[in-house]
Chain A
Amino acid sequence: MLAKYDVELIGVTKRYGATLAVDNISLRIPQASYCCLLGPSGCGKTSTLRMIAGHEPISNGDILIRDQNVTDLPPAKRGTGMMFQSYALFPHLNCLDNVAFSLKMRGTGKTERHARAREFLNLVHMGDFADRLPAQLSGGQQQRIALARSLITKPRVLLLDEPLSALDPFLRVRMREELKRLQRDLGITFVHVTHSQDEAMALADLMVVMDDGLIRQAGAPREIFERPASSFVARFIGGHNVVPGERGLVAIRADRCRLGAAGSGPYLSGRVAAVEYQGPLVRVALETEFAGQATALLPDKLFYAGPVAPGERATLVWSEEDVHALPNA
């Protein structure tokens, strides 16, 4: 019988001496899903990933992979594969031998392991680079090799530590698509650590927002974007204005705000601090009297129908139905 969850964390805690890096978190990652751990640096996302991988001992709690408790198993016995932020390709081995490394450790014969390694090089479109040393590859190519090297172990769960952070923005978007394609084609779970909201939203089936060693919210990206659980989540994922409402803080999506005159609906007035042209949208930042900075994302057509300039006074308006009350402000 197939397990319902590929990864389960039960009350997992990580302490480094007196500091608490991960604080009693629980999480279930459904079968064959793309999970992104998202959070600012130092939030515990990388520690969590390394505990799943088995590179960091767990202070408290249990980790299950497909219903098997792996808490005390060494990395290679967990059915996980890890892709390191630095890729950690062995510099003295060519790409083929890098990819074939795990087979060699298991004692697979040379002909067979090289044939298998070639299959996986082809899977990541790196078949022509078998004889190159890692130092002769670009960052994106090194990443593909690292991916092939992890995938050849047939992991149930692939763990990726900030895999796209070393790439230039253009390549990042392309590799992002490719990661998602691989995950879908292979039908395994990917757990991907990132500090980029865009990346998490684009990739994740399950997005886990972490802060201060805690999971602040976990769910589908759309669910989190439309209904952030707290002011932290609303601010961190961006695109929201967090302002005081009648009963505590509320969040309003910046793209639902308009510039106009104060009427019967809710509004905020202030001075224009910045105007950024972003192509299809124009971002107007307002320094308000009562709620700090607030922004409006306006379609370009709308903005140029009544443009404002920095220094001018303006009023932000939105409709009552776009107000989302933050349950845990």
Chain B
Amino acid sequence: MLATRQFHASSGKRPWTFYALASLFGAYLLFLYGPMLVMYLLSFQGPNGGVTFPMVGVSTVWFEDIMRPGQMANIPVAFERSIALASIVSLVTMVVSVAAGLGFRRRFPGSGLLFYLAVASLVMPSLLVGFGIGLGFKALGIKADLLTSALGAQLTWTLPFGLFAMFAVVNRFDRSYEEAASDLGASAWQRLRHVILPILLPGIIGVGMGAFTLSYDEYARTTLAIGSRNTLPLEIYALISSATSPTLFAIGTVTTTVSFCAIGVTLFVIFRLQRRRKATALQFN
């Protein structure tokens, strides 16, 4: 295997499989990003244009259209709800995943069963989970709402994901860091505060970001558990089934921008964390 690779590297000739797989990957990229690029482009359609090419001029009227609460949907309000819900979901997921991740490092009676119970939610049909939660709230006489049933429904989705990701992060955490800390006189709280959390921080931020984006575009579980105040994906869906105009494309462009901003902010925070560490280091020079 290694010998073949070195042989090809030295002769500069790639096997035909390279070109076959590269073409396949290229086709995949086109399939993934092509339609999205078309959508971004068409969202700048002129005021008299339609939902297909050709572009009839260039304008931002469809973006302005989003901001006007329409009959079918109120996009700005739904957007605010989605951001608020996603932030709360992200926070809860981070806290619970870190606690569970640290707890699961040691085997305890029933830990296997508990783990499977927690992640089973990933394989259950999303729509039915949401339906069950909606039904349950109705049966108990509690009003289904954004921060009650919808929050719960989304957590059944983000928590198992967060748990899986945290297990991977925690598994790479060397136990001797903790032992060294307790050797140096750190209490349990100090170990968590000064050693465990800082070392795990990039992973924790990653889990938070993952939960945020999962929540931000969650549809299936939320739709039957949301009550009357819709999140953004639900509003968009209502809009798609009722009207077709480049406004939909504009919404797509804006929401994608928000997702990329979330990723950008996360990376920026991680970058700043590392730079601050270096900066504190430098001031002692």
Contact = CB atoms under 8 A, between A and B. Distances in A.
Interface of A: 53, 55, 74-76, 80-82, 84-86, 88, 90-92, 94, 96-97, 101-102, 104-106, 114, 130-133, 149-150, 153
The 7 A-B pairs with the shortest beta carbon distances in the complex, nearest first, are A102-B184, A76-B185, A131-B281, A88-B180, A88-B176, A94-B281, A92-B198
Given A86-B174, A105-B194, A81 B183 contact: yes
B184 A88 contact: no
A82 B183 contact: yes
Given A76-B184, A114-B284, A131-B282, A105 B177 contact: no
A94 B277 contact: yes
Interface in B258-285: 277-278, 280-282, 284-285
Nearest to B202: A92
A130 B283 CA distance: 11
A84 B182 CA distance: 13
A91 B184 CA distance: 16
A77 to B, nearest CB: 9
B185 A105 contact: yes
A74 B199 contact: no
Contact of B194 (A53, A74, A104): A104
A103 to B, nearest CB: 9
Main secondary structure of the interface of B (DSSP, over half): helix
B80 interface: no
Contacts of A55: 179, 182-183
Contacts of A105: 181, 184-187, 190, 194
Given A55-B179, A84-B176, A86-B174, A133 B281 contact: yes
Contacts of A130: 284
Interface of B: 174, 176-177, 179-187, 190, 194-195, 198-199, 201, 277-278, 280-282, 284-285
Contact of A86 (B176, B201, B278, B282): B176
A170 to B, nearest CB: 26
A94 B62 CA distance: 52
Contacts of B201: 92
18 contacts: A55-B182, A76-B182, A76-B183, A86-B174, A86-B176, A88-B176, A88-B179, A92-B277, A94-B280, A96-B281, A101-B181, A105-B186, A105-B194, A114-B284, A131-B282, A131-B284, A133-B278, A149-B180
Contacts of B281: 94, 96, 131-133
A131 B278 CA distance: 8
A92 B199 contact: yes
B174 to A, nearest CB: 6
Nearest to B185: A76
Contacts of B278: 133
A90 B177 contact: yes
A13 B234 CA distance: 64
Given A75-B179, A101-B194, A131-B284, 10 more contacts: A75-B182, A76-B183, A82-B180, A88-B174, A90-B198, A105-B184, A106-B185, A131-B281, A133-B278, A133-B281
Contacts of B194: 101, 104-105
- Between B186, B199, B278, the greatest number of chain A beta carbons within 10 A of the residue's beta carbon is seen for B186
Contacts of A133: 277-278, 281
Contacts of A88: 174, 176-177, 179-180
B67 to A, nearest CB: 44
B32 to A, nearest CB: 35
A102 B184 CA distance: 5
A149 B174 contact: no
A105 B194 CA distance: 9
A95 to B, nearest CB: 9
A105 B190 CA distance: 7
Contacts of B277: 92, 94, 133
Contacts of A94: 277, 280-281
A69 B72 CA distance: 77
A82 B190 CA distance: 18
B284 A90 contact: no
A102 B176 contact: no
Nearest to A130: B284
Contacts of A85: 176
Contacts of B282: 131
Contacts of A97: 280
Nearest to B179: A55
B194 to A, nearest CB: 7
A153 B184 CA distance: 7
A90 B174 contact: no
B184 A101 contact: yes
- Between B183, B190, B285, the greatest number of chain A beta carbons within 10 A of the residue's beta carbon is seen for B183
A180 B204 CA distance: 43
A105 B181 CA distance: 9
Contacts of A149: 180, 184
B284 A74 contact: no
Nearest to A53: B183
A90 B200 CA distance: 12
